[in-house]
Amino acid sequence: MTDRVVLAYSGGLDTSVAIGWIGEATGAEVVAVAVDVGQGGEDLEVIRRRALDCGAVEAYVADARDEFAAEYCMPALAANGLYQDAYPLVSGISRPVIVKHLVRAARQFGASTVAHGCTGKGNDQVRFEVSITSLAPDLKCLAPVRDLALTREKAIAYAEKHSLPIETTKNNPFSIDQNVWGRAVETGFLEDIWNAPTKDVYNYTDDPTFPPVADEVVITFEQGVPVALDGVPVTPLQAIQEMNRRAGAQGVGRIDIVEDRLVGIKSREVYEAPGAMALIAAHRELENVTLEREQARFKRGVEQRWSELVYDGQWFSPLKKSLDTFITDTQKYVSGDIRLVLHGGRATVTGRRSEQSLYDFNLATYDEGDSFDQASAVGFIDIYGLTSKLAAARDVRFGNGVDLGTGEL
């Protein structure tokens, strides 16, 4: 029986050429798998037909937009997932859902190998292959660009020689990855980190320098998940799509950073994530209202570690699953409304309300009706500062007290 390879297929030049390239190099039949995670562009049926026309023996297409939004974007929102406190893991959270469909197709069509179009310098090769072997340890992995020396020049020459139904002359200076959670842009002139991004880099966001009239939106959450916008019920996918539209029109969510790749190099990346960044801003503020102080402090460290694991391709790892359990538990009371004003590249919280709120007006107020017993503060300060007081007394005793200097006050 002829061996089969399942290929993560985008419909573009490189993966279209990879169908025949893999067949010639390995003798295997190629099954093309296209997964829609909200990246836009061509219709899935058009992509499926192209895969078959380029030599695939089977073409598997999946509309995974709702799955991606509910099972991958929402956990990222609950974790306030930001790598290096900036990047909302646009690519990091999409790879696991694509891999799930790749493995499903490998089982369905009897393939022994899964192939992807990543290079040997980036994070995605790790994300794909670690996720594949985490779900199916028996499957082998293949990267035509990395393992079979499929360069851009060779891809163009191959496509023209075999008259493949794919555009070969378009010259895009950037490498772009996008889905409903955001858009990642790299390479080209952006590799000089002194160069500022030009207007043609952006697609999801309008220029925040000349914004339209401010847009006010009320986001309703239930247990950390947005369920309504301005009182209109939404699914997770609809919430992201609508916030992409509204926040994007205000230029919210533009990110330009030099980040630490898993492979050890630093890389300049430009991201657009209007919906993700606006939703994270709202979600964080609702947590400020509803999470107990020590739980909230501990969660910040968990969020950073969670984001690092996801960035590093460890979505299916034991530690990430354990952190998911903690994060899910913290969302029990994260319900209520957040009012956001979107304007000029910023998403600003201007109001919050929740039946599960830990904010007590009578304790917080300095006006009439204050229920806080200020007399209890004296004893609290004595006990709270006792260890520091004892340590300071010891320092004085051994001549190590704080030098207050000789200057006049």
| 196, β-bridge pairs | none
With 0-12 / 13-18 / 19 or more C-beta atoms within 10 angstroms meaning exposed / middle / buried, residue 397 is: exposed
Active-site annotation holder among 4, 10, 14, 307: 14
95 is catalytic: yes
Contact 368, 241 (CB under 8 A): no
| Set 4, 16, 48, 124: catalytic member | 124
Q: Which two tokens stand for residue 85?
A: 């406190």
Q: Would residue 124 show up in a list of annotated catalytic residues for this protein?
A: yes
Distance CA 182, CA 274 (A): 7
Helix (H, G, I), strand (E, B) or coil at 158: helix
- DSSP β-bridge partners for residue 233: 228
Question: Is 14 among the residues known to form the active site?
Answer: yes
Angle subtended at Cα 339 by Cα 335 and Cα 341, rounded to the nearest 5 degrees: 150
Rounded Cα distance between 20 and 22, Å, is 5
From the candidates 48, 50, 95, 127, give the one annotated as an active-site residue. Answer: 95
Catalytic residue among 112, 175, 322, 371: 175
Beta strand pairing call for 225-229 and 232-233 = antiparallel
Nearest to 186 by CA among 175, 197, 200: 175
The token duo for 13 is: 């030049």
Which of 122, 142, 163 minimizes the C-alpha distance to 31? 142
Angle between helices 13-26 and 44-53 (to 10 degrees): 30
CB neighbour class for 133 (10 Å; exposed up to 12, middle 13-18, buried from 19): middle
Phi and psi torsions of 82, nearest 5°: -135, 110
* Other C-beta atoms lying within 10 Å of the C-beta of residue 344: 16
3-state secondary structure labels for all residues of 36-72: ECCCCCCCHHHHHHHHHHCCCCEEEEEECHHHHHHHH
- Helix pair 274-290, 293-311: axis angle to 10 deg: 150
Catalytic residues: 14, 95, 124, 175
